[in-house]
C-alpha cells in the first residue's frame, strides 16, 4: 500500500499515537531526574592496600597493580583500570605530584603512599547520591511563628507580593530570604530550608527542612553451636546491617581471635544500602588443648559515607572447644528381653567406645567403662583398656553386656586418662547418656522354714515365696525336691500358675524330720515362660536344719519300763541330753550368784543400822 492510499482518518490516528509515544519518552527522563536532595559529587568507595597482581574492587570498576618501582624517588607504580571485567587503560602514579588520576570523568584514584611493595590508595566515583534527608516534615507557619531544628531557627517575618520573608538564624548569624512555592536554599552545606507551598490568600506557608543523612552500622555474629571439637573448622555468620539513611561504602571486616587461626582475617564489601545488610562468612581453625579451652572471636567493621567519614562497630563471641582426646559411647540394641535366646545364648547389647585423638601427635591412653550392677560383661575380666592413638585417628573398643534384671538403665559415661608434659588428664563421654530398656520376666524364689532347730520326729512348715520382679506376665511352675529322711505330711510341694508383673505368691507345706542327719533342704528350682515364649528358670536359697535325737540313760529307761505311769524327776546325777545339761548349768550358776550376794548385802544392812 502506498502513502497515497492512506485515508486521512488513519493518518490522524497514526499521528496521535506518535505524539503520545514521543510524550511518554520525553517524560521518562523528567520523572527519573534527580531532585534537590541528590548531589552529583565524588563519592568515597573505599581504602585499599594492594601489591602487584592484587586488585581493588569497587563494583563495576577494578583497579589492579601492574608494577611497582621502589627504586625511584619517590616510589612509583603502574595501575590498570578495568570496567565490567574489561581492560580500559593503564596509568602511572606516585605519592607526590602524580598521586591522583581521573578515569572517564567518573573515577578518581588517590594514591596515599607507596611502600613495602604496596600501594595505598582511595577510590572515589562521580555520581548522584541521595544526600539530604527530611529533618522537619511539612509544617504550616504564619507570620511571627518559628520552628527550631538543632542550632537553626526559622522564623516567618511576613508576607508580600514577592513571597514570604523568612529569617534563618544560626550561632548568632541571621540571614533573611524571600521564599515562594518550591524555593529551597542550602545553609553552610548542612541545612536546607524549603517552602513546599505558599498560600498568599491565607498568609500561610508550609515549610520543610533537610539535613545530610548518615549511615549506621549494626553488627551481629553467630555460630551454629557453642561447643566444638578441636579438629572441626568453625564457621561464623557476621551480619553487617546499615540502619542509617544513606549508603555505607568501602566496608572492611577485620576478624581476630584470642587463640586459633582466622582463615580470612580481612574481608571487604563495596556498598550496603540503607535498611539492607551483608553477611560475611568467617572461618576459624580452633586451638587444641588437653582438657579443652575457650577463645574469643572479635570482629571490627569500618565503613564510610559519601564524604569519606568513617563509621565503626565491633562485636565478640565466645566459643568452647573440647579436649583433643575425646571418647564416644554407643549401645545397640538399646532394648533387650530377658530370657530371649540368640544363637543359644541370652540376648546381649553391644557397647562401642570410640576414642578420638585430634592432636597431631600420638598418645597412649587408658580407657575405663562401667556397667550397671544388673549387667554382666561377657568374656572380659575387666572394663579397662590401654591403647595407643596415632595422630588424628580413632580407635573403637567393643564388648558385649548381658542384662539380669528388667528396668530402665542409664549407663555411666566412659572415661579416658592420659599424660601430657607430666600432667594427668581425664576426659569423659560427652553428649546424651545411653539408656537401655530391659523387658521380660524374672522370678525371684525364696525358701523359708517356720523352725529349723528340731528333734527327730518333729514337724516344720516350708514356705516358698515367688515374686515376679519383671515387667511381663509369667507362667510359673516348680516341684520342690524332698530329700531322704524327710516326709511331706501336709500341703503340696509343687505349684503351677501365672504371676503378673509385680505379683507375689506364698506357698506352704509341712514336713516331718525322720532322720537326725538331715542338715539342709536344697533350693527350689522354678521354671517360667513369659508372654513372648521366652523360657527361664531360677533356684532359691538353701535352708539349714539342726536336727537332734533325745538321749536317755539306762537307769531312767529301767524306771520308765517298770513304772511307766509315774513321771520321773531328773537329778543332777542323771544323764541329761545336751539341752537339759545346758539348762541345769545355767540354773546352778544363778543360784551360786545369789548365795555370794548374801554376805555383802547383810554387812551393808548391819553397818547402816549401827550408824543410825
CATH of the domain at 74: 2.60.98.40
Q: What are phi and psi of 555, to 5 degrees?
A: -60, -50
pLDDT at position 248 is: 92
Residues 305 and 235 reside in one and the same domain: yes
Q: pLDDT tens digit string along 345-363? A: 889 999 999 999 988 889 9
Do 583 and 529 lie in a common domain?
no
Domain final residue pick, 505, 522, 548: 548
Q: What is the pLDDT of residue 13?
A: 65
Say if residue 335 is in the same domain as residue 405: yes
pLDDT, average across residues 593-611: 58
Same domain, 179 and 123: no
If you average pLDDT over residues 6-22, what whole number do you get?
Answer: 60
Q: Does residue 343 register a pLDDT over 60?
A: yes
* Domains in the chain, number: 7
Distance CA 195, CA 53 (A): 54
264 and 237 belong to one structural domain: yes
Give yes or no for residue 105 having a pLDDT over 60: yes
Identify which of 326, 496, 492, 476 has the alpha carbon closest to the alpha carbon of residue 414.
Answer: 326
Q: Are residues 470 and 529 in the same domain?
A: yes
Question: What predicted TM-score, i.e. pTM, was given to this entire model?
Answer: 0.56
- 333 to 139, 339, 352, 415, 437: CA distances (angstroms): 77, 16, 11, 22, 9
Residues 354 and 281 grouped into a single domain: no
Q: Are residues 275 and 306 in the same domain?
A: yes
In a 3-state reduction of DSSP, which class is residue 11? helix
C-alpha cell, 410:
542409664
Pair 14, 85 in one domain:
no
On whether both 115 and 159 belong to a single domain, the answer is no
Confidence of residue 465 (pLDDT cuts 50, 70, 90): very high
Judged by phi (left if over 0) then psi (alpha if -120 to 50, else beta), residue 596 lies in alpha
- Judged against a pLDDT cut of 60, whether residue 146 lies above it is answered with yes
Q: Are 339 and 530 in contact (CB under 8 A)?
A: yes
pLDDT in tens, 257-277: 999 999 999 998 889 999 999
- Return the pLDDT at 262: 95
Q: CA 162 to CA 198: how far, in whole Å?
A: 11
Q: In terms of domains, do 92 and 46 share one?
A: yes
**Other CB atoms within 10 A of residue 21 CB:** 10
The percentage of residues in the chain with a pLDDT greater than 70, rounded to a whole number, is 84
Q: How far is CA 254 from the centre of its chain?
A: 27
CA distance 270 to 248: 9
Instruction: Indicate the residue among 108, 129, 150 that finishes a domain.
Output: 129
Q: 265: helix, coil or strand?
A: coil
Cα separation, 367 vs 353, whole angstroms: 9
Q: Tell whether 145 and 101 lie within a shared domain.
A: no
All three cell numbers of 36, joined, read: 534537590
Segment 245-268 shows an average pLDDT of 93
**Phi, psi values for residue 16, rounded to 5°:** -65, -45
* Mean pLDDT computed over 487-512: 94
Instruction: Evaluate whether 348 touches 325 at the Cβ level (below 8 Å).
Output: no
Q: Read off the pLDDT band of 578 (50, 70, 90).
A: very low
Mean pLDDT, residues 111-139 taken together: 91
**How many angstroms separate the first and last alpha carbons of the chain?**
170
Average pLDDT over residues 181-195: 94
On the question of pLDDT at 26 being above 70, the answer is no
- Domain span holding position 575: 553-612
pLDDT at residue 598, as a whole number: 66
CATH number at residue 475: 2.60.40.10
Question: What average pLDDT score do residues 538-558 get?
Answer: 76
- 10 Å CB burial of residue 478 (0-12, 13-18, 19+) is buried
Measure the CA dihedral 184/186/190/192, to 10°. Answer: -10
Per-residue pLDDT at 322: 85
Residue 93 vs residues 47, 108, 110: alpha-carbon distances, Å:
16, 12, 9
> Domain end: 70, 94, 129, which one?
129
Could you report the per-residue pLDDT of 153-185, keeping only the tens digit for each? Answer: 999 999 999 999 999 999 989 999 999 999 999
Task: Reply yes or no on whether the pLDDT at 85 is more than 70.
Answer: yes
Q: What is the mean pLDDT of the chain?
A: 86
Preceding peptide of 333 cis, ω within 30°:
yes
Amino acid at each position: 500500500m502506498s502513502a497515497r492510499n492512506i485515508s486521512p482518518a488513519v493518518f490522524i490516528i497514526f499521528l496521535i499515537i506518535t505524539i503520545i509515544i514521543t510524550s511518554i519518552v520525553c517524560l521518562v527522563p523528567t520523572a527519573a531526574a534527580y531532585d534537590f536532595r541528590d548531589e552529583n559529587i565524588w563519592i568515597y568507595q573505599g581504602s585499599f592496600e594492594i601489591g602487584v597482581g592484587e586488585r581493588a574492587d569497587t563494583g563495576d570498576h577494578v583497579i589492579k597493580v601492574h608494577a611497582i618501582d621502589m627504586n625511584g624517588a619517590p616510589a612509583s607504580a603502574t595501575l590498570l583500570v578495568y570496567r565490567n571485567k574489561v581492560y580500559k587503560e593503564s596509568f602511572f602514579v606516585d605519592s607526590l605530584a602524580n598521586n591522583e588520576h581521573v578515569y572517564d570523568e567518573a573515577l578518581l584514584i588517590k594514591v596515599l603512599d607507596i611502600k613495602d611493595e604496596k600501594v595505598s590508595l582511595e577510590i572515589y566515583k562521580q555520581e548522584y547520591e541521595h544526600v539530604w534527608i527530611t529533618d522537619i516534615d511539612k509544617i504550616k507557619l504564619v507570620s511571627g511563628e518559628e520552628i527550631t531544628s538543632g542550632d537553626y531557627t526559622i522564623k516567618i517575618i511576613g508576607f508580600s507580593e514577592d513571597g514570604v520573608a523568612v529569617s534563618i538564624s544560626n550561632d548568632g548569624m541571621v540571614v533573611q530570604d524571600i521564599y515562594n512555592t518550591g524555593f529551597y536554599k542550602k545553609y553552610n552545606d548542612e541545612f536546607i530550608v524549603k517552602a513546599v507551598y505558599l498560600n498568599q490568600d491565607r498568609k500561610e506557608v508550609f515549610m520543610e527542612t533537610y539535613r545530610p543523612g548518615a549511615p549506621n552500622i549494626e553488627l551481629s555474629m553467630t555460630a551454629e553451636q557453642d561447643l566444638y571439637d578441636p579438629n572441626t573448622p568453625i564457621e561464623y555468620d557476621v551480619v553487617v546491617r546499615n540502619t542509617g539513611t544513606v549508603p555505607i561504602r568501602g566496608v572492611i571486616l577485620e576478624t581476630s581471635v584470642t587463640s586459633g587461626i582466622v582463615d580470612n582475617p580481612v574481608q571487604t564489601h563495596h556498598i550496603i544500602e540503607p535498611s539492607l545488610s551483608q553477611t560475611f562468612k568467617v572461618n576459624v581453625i580452633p586451638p587444641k588443648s588437653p582438657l579443652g579451652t575457650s577463645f574469643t572471636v572479635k570482629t571490627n567493621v569500618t565503613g564510610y559515607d559519601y564524604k569519606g567519614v568513617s563509621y565503626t562497630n565491633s562485636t565478640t563471641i565466645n566459643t568452647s572447644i573440647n579436649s583433643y582426646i575425646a571418647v564416644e559411647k554407643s549401645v545397640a540394641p538399646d532394648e533387650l528381653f530377658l530370657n530371649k535366646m540368640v544363637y543359644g545364648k541370652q540376648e546381649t547389647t553391644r557397647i562401642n567406645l570410640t576414642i578420638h585423638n585430634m592432636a597431631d601427635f600420638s598418645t597412649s591412653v587408658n580407657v575405663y567403662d562401667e556397667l550397671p550392677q544388673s549387667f554382666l560383661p561377657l568374656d572380659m575380666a575387666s572394663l579397662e583398656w590401654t591403647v595407643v592413638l596415632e595422630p588424628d585417628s580413632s580407635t573403637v573398643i567393643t564388648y558385649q553386656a548381658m542384662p539380669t534384671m528388667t528396668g530402665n538403665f542409664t549407663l555411666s559415661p566412659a572415661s579416658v586418662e592420659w599424660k601430657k608434659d607430666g600432667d594427668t588428664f581425664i576426659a569423659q563421654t560427652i553428649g546424651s547418656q545411653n539408656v537401655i530398656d530391659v523387658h521380660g520376666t524374672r522370678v525371684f524364689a525364696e525358701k523359708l522354714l517356720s523352725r529349723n532347730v528340731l528333734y527327730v520326729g518333729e514337724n516344720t512348715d516350708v514356705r516358698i515365696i515367688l515374686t515376679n520382679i519383671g515387667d511381663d506376665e509369667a507362667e510359673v511352675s516348680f516341684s520342690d525336691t524332698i530329700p531322704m529322711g524327710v516326709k511331706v505330711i501336709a500341703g503340696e510341694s509343687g505349684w503351677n500358675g501365672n504371676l503378673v508383673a509385680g505379683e507375689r505368691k506364698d506357698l506352704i507345706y509341712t514336713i516331718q524330720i525322720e532322720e537326725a542327719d538331715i542338715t539342709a533342704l536344697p533350693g527350689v528350682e522354678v521354671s517360667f515362660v513369659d508372654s513372648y515364649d521366652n523360657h527361664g528358670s531360677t533356684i532359691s536359697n538353701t535352708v539349714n536344719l539342726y536336727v537332734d535325737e533325745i538321749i536317755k540313760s539306762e537307769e531312767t529307761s529301767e524306771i520308765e519300763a517298770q513304772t511307766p505311769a509315774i513321771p520321773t524327776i531328773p537329778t543332777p546325777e542323771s544323764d541329761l541330753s545336751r539341752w537339759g545339761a545346758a539348762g541345769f548349768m545355767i540354773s546352778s550358776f544363778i543360784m551360786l550368784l545369789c548365795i555370794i550376794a548374801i554376805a555383802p548385802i547383810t554387812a551393808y544392812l548391819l553397818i547402816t543400822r549401827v550408824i543410825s
